[in-house]
Amino acid sequence: MQPGRTAGQRAGLTRETVLRAARELLAEGGLTALSMRALAGRLDVAPNALYSHVANKTALIDDLLDDVLAGVEAPAPDTGAPVTRLHQLMASTYTVLLAHPDLVPLYLSRQGARGPHAQRLGNIAAALLRRAGVPEPAASEALRVLIVYTIGFAAFTSHLPEGAGTEHQPGAAELHDNFGRGLGWLLTGIQRSRPS
């Protein structure tokens, strides 16, 4: 046994392996199925091996939520108007959330994510809002509204079947279009409300 190695390292675990197994448990049985003991069983390790990678279930959920945000595509710097780039950023966030419908309720209950990926995306959005002429504290408020809109719309859309809907219930494709239009309306309103 090499000195200085954690129980998780000795068991051959990586952070990515732990998060992948946690996502599988969550997809199969929801939040109640995701426990440290169940996760250890899925990975065929002792529970203490997990603590090399996550402190507890709350930290595990935070890590899961933030890890998914690595898939959000940030717009290329200095290409296009700031509002256009904000639209791209929030649309990519929406698409990533829809790809992980089992996590969307957790984003709602925890009011977003707080890890390094969430912070990076928040900093990009805040900078774009400032470039669009929205000063603080209005920029922080506008960012909060954009995040709530995006997560809320993903929650509304995430479990709908693909394809066309009915007269009374739009399908996922139609709601995806609704999201884009509504986001445009929000961004137009944010721009109009900035101080002259």
Q: Is residue 80 domain-shared with residue 133, that is, in the same domain?
A: yes
The pair of three-digit structure tokens given for residue 67, joined into one six-digit string: 């890890």
Mean pLDDT (the chain) is 87
Domain that residue 42 falls in:
7-54
Q: Is residue 25 domain-shared with residue 78, that is, in the same domain?
A: no
CATH number at residue 11: 1.10.10
pTM of the model: 0.84
The pLDDT tens digits for 39-71 are: 999 999 998 899 989 999 999 999 999 999 999
CATH number at residue 167: 1.10.357.10
Q: Is the peptide bond before 75 cis (omega within 30 degrees of 0)?
A: no
Q: What is the CA radius of gyration of the chain?
A: 20
The pLDDT tens digits for 123-133 are: 999 999 999 99
The pair of three-digit structure tokens given for residue 48, joined into one six-digit string: 């203490």
Amino acid 192: pLDDT: 85
Q: Is residue 81 domain-shared with residue 171, that is, in the same domain?
A: yes
Cβ count within 10 A of residue 16: 10
Residue 174 lies in a domain: yes
Helix H or strand E encompassing 122: helix 116-131
40-54, 100-114, 150-164: lowest mean pLDDT where?
Answer: 150-164
* Cα 150 from chain centroid (whole Å): 10
Q: Is residue 36 domain-shared with residue 81, that is, in the same domain?
A: no
Confidence tier at 5 by pLDDT (50, 70, 90):
very low
